[in-house]
Chain A
């Protein structure tokens, strides 16, 4: 099986400072892949560059298409979608309008089924569908951002720190839903600081440090790795909730 997303030897620079140096990764169909690493390792930068928000040097292909000449809007049309760290919702518009705009490029009939699917996945959004996005709680905003991205029927969903600033019970909910996406045929590339939770649902993982991948493998192997446990999983034992 060929890779859905293939990133080869990518460099990303802010001015003269290289934030990401020679990174390669791939995500296959129906796979959940996570990138874990400390704050400032370059994870968000990498996702933004794959989406086209930032320029990169190197090669990225998605579903066999070279991404280099495409801008953000064209990349969305190929089935690539990003839920950004700051969610970037339309705060003064209501939940339903936000979701509807998520299907901006999709035919109306298809969008109606997507909307039902999103409401099944996130019943909370259905309850709040007439509420303004800016007045939602942090967890609901994260759900809305994910729902909006799913409305575009993406093949690959890139999630940037979905657990950031959320209560543990909501985090568990979000991660459960991310796990369910696979059943719906959506691959996931997940960037997380909450390494323990991410490793539990992922198939494979990359560990990022100072702009480079220092380790990669199956999520199980990475979770069992002593260095990773010490650096990213803290002193927590299995079964303890991650905060």
Chain B
């Protein structure tokens, strides 16, 4: 192989790796705060990407209606669980978040949708739709069982993945979609050509990592999320609502997923079920990071991206096999190095 090909492969790998890093970080975040292994992360990617692609063609994506439906269920759950101590403030808050927000969003989508809507507006709408779905997903599927074991949460997570993937087929059909690029600019450096899209991928990934670092290190809410992850009982004893922490974690994860999707959909055609495989690669990075370490996860994600790029060049049939095999030695090492720990329940 010559240097040029190697550079191309590296560039390709880093671009994909950056996306996996975003997803891996979201997985670590959600697991730390809620102990949920977020299998539906891939669906956030698909929903974000395909909602954006549909909006760009002037259609209203079914996800906007799904958000309204999920909001109704979330509202009913709020009322049911608070039935013994209902007060006006709680009901008003619940109506605003679960009914008014998704309905207004659906209205906004209908009002703004056209083939000529600016890209920025479409991106904002797609992000808001997926954010609402992420938030309600936690409220409906995970908050009522938040105190159960990791295994129960994982099973619920798989269930959510299957349900959302099925709904994805209904909303977007079996055909793949592509979205318009964020920018058509390109920069040439030596033999390499950086498209505006790949520069946006790098920029947003670095931006998000810095933003997350600032959020967790310097804001009260960020610190409260970390505290929930470190010690749930301790967090509750200082008055941090662990349900709110969970909702914020899911909100962040869904927005990160949707952004990743919007970043990839101009580069590759996405199908209703493509997100799962992309999410799974973020998951490998998160596992290598032990589901606790953010920096290790980010580095592992770049490695996963590069390994994938090189294996698709040398042995494209075995691309996925090689990538997923990466996880085996890590798991063996980790289970040998770490003593058996009893699972925390609260």
Contact = CB atoms under 8 A, between A and B. Distances in A.
Interface of A: 51, 53, 69-70, 72-73, 76-77, 81-82, 84, 87-93, 97, 100-102, 104-105, 148-149, 151-152
A92 B220 CA distance: 16
A90 B239 contact: no
Nearest to A99: B238
A84 B346 CA distance: 15
Contact of A101 (B84, B224, B233, B241): B224
B176 interface: no
B227 A152 contact: no
Nearest to A151: B238
Contacts of B239: 73, 76-77, 104-105, 152
A76 B226 contact: no
A81 to B, nearest CB: 7
Contacts of A81: 237
Nearest to B346: A53
A21 to B, nearest CB: 25
Contacts of A90: 226-227, 230-231, 234-235
Highest count of chain A CB atoms <10 Å: which of B231, B235, B237, B241: B237
B223 A152 contact: no
Contact of A93 (B227, B233, B237): B227
Contacts of A73: 236, 239-241
Interface residues of B, number: 18
B123 to A, nearest CB: 34
Given A69-B84, A69-B85, A76 B238 contact: yes
Nearest to B233: A88
A150 B37 CA distance: 35
Nearest to B234: A88
Closest 6 CB pairs of A and B: A88-B234, A76-B239, A69-B85, A105-B239, A72-B236, A90-B230
Nearest to A92: B230
A101 B238 contact: yes
Interface string B210-244: 00000000001001101100110111111111000
